[in-house]
Amino acid sequence: MRASTNKVFYLGENLSREQLDFFNQYGFIHFRNFIDKETLHRVLQEVNDVQEYLISNNIDKVNGIPLKFGQDTDGKLLIQRIAFASQYSRFLSGLLKDPRFSTIIKLLSPFKGRIGEFEKDGLVVNHYVNTVNSAYNRLGWHTDSPRDLFLGSRILPMLNVGLHLDNCPFENGGLRVLPGTHTQNLFRLLFRKKYFIDNRPDKNEVGFDIQAGDLTVHDGRLWHRVQQSAFEGEASRRRVIYIPIVTGAYQPKDANSATPFYHKLAKLKKNPNGRINWSLSEGKTAVAQKKIA
């Protein structure tokens, strides 16, 4: 559903009063043309190089965060979610030094924020594509707050910053948000919807008309989901880099970090009888075997 709250802005050296007011009221904001075509091309190449490195070295988990595997349109192995991707790319790590990110941090005011390159799930690359064996083509309703509870800390505001690498008009699915829900009480934050299980559209949700190079920012307490594309194959491809901007105590992760419980929540699925089963996404070995078969 489209809504009047879906307004596009342009990010300069400073946030305008209008931009601050918009974000504070609705909990999200959309900036057009954050990076140019040349930078976009380099980002896509770096993402591809990171994927090839992870596959070639049989890496299926980074800093305790599992990677999600599927198949591309040509049947080749595809990593559909990469955590801490900047750990394998100097260019992606350097991209986070763009001074405009410091401007975005001001959206957390009065809290002091920082780019969580080594916290949460780090710089995440999401790669949505509809194929027969795609394991990651949508994401149910959720907020990013429960991860704080599972990590033993109180819920603090954070920003989820998405750099979009493909054109994605509203009709092609993509990010959906419930405006204003970042100010809800704790009960509504935890129980308004069934985390990751509920994929149903909401009459109050807002979608986006995305152009490659755009930036979206939403408060981590905002209810949001990813709508599955109405198309299949190449037309359904959507790649997004997500960068967490966090507050509170510094909590970096490393190769010895345990897998957080909230990643298991994302694998909850309903069976035909309406009951909930634990359903683990296919690992790269299973996908490869299916490909050979």
Cβ contacts of 38 within 8 Å, gap of 6 or more: none
What's the gap between Cα 15 and its chain centre? 23
pLDDT tier at 107, thresholds 50, 70, 90: very high
SS3 117: coil
Mean pLDDT in residue range 80-93: 97
pLDDT tier at 261, thresholds 50, 70, 90: low
The fold for domain 26-292 equals: Jelly Rolls (2.60.120)
Structure tokens at 255: 């190769």
Mean pLDDT in residue range 170-176: 89
Whether residue 49 has pLDDT greater than 70 = yes
Length of the chain in terms of residues written:
293
Q: What is the pTM of this model?
A: 0.84
Cα 244 to Cα 117: distance, rounded to the nearest angstrom: 7
- Decide: residue 276, CB within 10 A, 0-12 exposed, 13-18 middle, 19+ buried: exposed
Q: Which pLDDT score, from 0 to 100, does residue 271 have?
A: 39
Whether residue 266 has pLDDT greater than 70 = no
Whether residue 236 has pLDDT greater than 80 = yes
